[in-house]
């Protein structure tokens, strides 16, 4: 399925969810579960917590599908932003009491092979990993620490032992390069 077609399908599914069509929610779940679960596992490193947050995300979709505004972005962006935000919230709430325990018992949930996901998705993954490989490590690391570990710029500066101003500049430059590198392929990220 091509990106524009997929995006239209997603919007149709969200409209059907607003109309309380549970089959539409099941279809949306089937479409995005492995991407969102992969993201949540990357953030939380714990299968039980990641599954719990994945469930919360789709219950939120069920209750808040009417909040989606296609003028503000694609369904894919909306879903990923929601999942990442909830994942980071859960990470923070676990941090005070369980981070040590989680770190000590990292859940080695098995990643599904690229062959098991469809070719289109693998192609997208290739594009983003190639783009990230082209960023210097000093720009890539702040992005990763912010996106997957939920750290703020001050926390990243402290973690990397770099001045706050330097971190801000590297983060902005890294994001701008990433956007440029993906610009020609933007349609591929439509979902």
Partner 1 sequence: MGHDDYKEMIPAHALSALDASDERALNEHLATCAECRRDVAEWEATAASLALSVKPMEPSPRVRERILTQIRSDKSVSNVVPFPGAQRNLWNSLGSLGSIAAIILFAALIISVVALWQQNRSLRQQNEFYQLLTEPGSRVAELAGTAEATSATAKLAYNKNGRAILIANGLPRAPQGKQYQLWFIVGNKPPLPGKSFSPDDTGSSTTQDQVPETARNSAVFAVTLEPAGGVNSPTGAIYLRGEL
**Residues of this chain, 153-172, that bind partner 1 according to CB under 8 A:** 153-154, 156, 168, 171-172
- Three-class SS of residue 128? helix
In the stretch 103-142, what mask flags binding to partner 1 with x, by CB under 8 A? Answer: ------xxxx---xx---x--xx-xxx--x---------x
Q: CA 166 to CA 172: how far, in whole Å?
A: 10
Q: How far is CA 86 from the centre of its chain?
A: 10
Q: Please measure the distance between the N-terminal and C-terminal CA atoms of the chain and give it in whole angstroms.
A: 9
Asked if residue 99 binds partner 1 (CB under 8 A), the reply is no
Return the residue of 13, 41, 44, 135 that touches partner 1, per CB under 8 A: 41
Cα separation, 19 vs 10, whole angstroms: 14
Q: Which of 13, 44, 80, 91 binds partner 1 (CB under 8 A)?
A: 80
User: Residue 61 and residue 68: Cα distance in Å, rounded?
Assistant: 9
Nearer Cβ to partner 1 (30/137): 30
Q: Which residues in 43-62 contact partner 1 (CB under 8 A)?
A: 47, 50-51, 54-55, 58-60, 62
- Between residue 6 and residue 25, which ones bind partner 1 under the rule CB under 8 A? 20, 22, 25
- Judged by CB under 8 A, does residue 182 bind partner 1? yes
Q: Which lies closer to partner 1 via its Cβ, residue 104 or residue 110?
A: 110
| Residues contacting partner 1: total by CB under 8 A | 79
Q: How far is the CB of 167 from partner 1 (least distance, A)?
A: 9
Q: In 3D, which of 59, 2, 31, 3 has the Cα closest to residue 189?
A: 3
Cβ(26)–Cβ(73) under 8 Å?
A: no
Q: How far is the CB of 5 from partner 1 (least distance, A)?
A: 18
31 binds partner 1 (CB under 8 A): no
The span from the CA of 110 to the CA of 113, in Å, is 9
Token output for 92: 């923070």
């Amino acid at each position: 399925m091509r990106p524009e077609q997929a995006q239209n399908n997603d919007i149709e599914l969200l409209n059907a969810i607003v109309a309380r069509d549970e089959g539409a929610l099941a279809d949306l779940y089937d479409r995005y579960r492995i991407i969102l679960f992969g993201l949540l596992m990357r953030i939380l490193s714990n299968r039980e917590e990641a599954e719990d947050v994945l469930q919360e995300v789709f219950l939120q979709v069920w209750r808040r599908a009417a909040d989606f505004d296609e003028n503000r972005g694609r369904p894919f962006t909306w879903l990923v932003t929601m999942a990442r935000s909830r994942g980071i919230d859960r990470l923070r709430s676990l941090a005070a009491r369980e981070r040590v325990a989680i770190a000590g018992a990292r859940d080695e949930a098995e990643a599904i092979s690229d062959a098991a996901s469809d070719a289109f998705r693998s192609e997208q993954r290739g594009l983003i990993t190639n783009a990230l490989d082209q960023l210097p490590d000093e720009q890539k690391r702040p992005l990763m620490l912010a996106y997957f570990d939920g750290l703020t710029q001050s926390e990243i500066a402290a973690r990397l032992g770099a001045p706050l101003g330097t971190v801000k500049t590297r983060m902005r430059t890294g994001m701008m390069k990433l956007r440029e590198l993906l610009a020609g392929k933007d349609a591929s990220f439509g979902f």
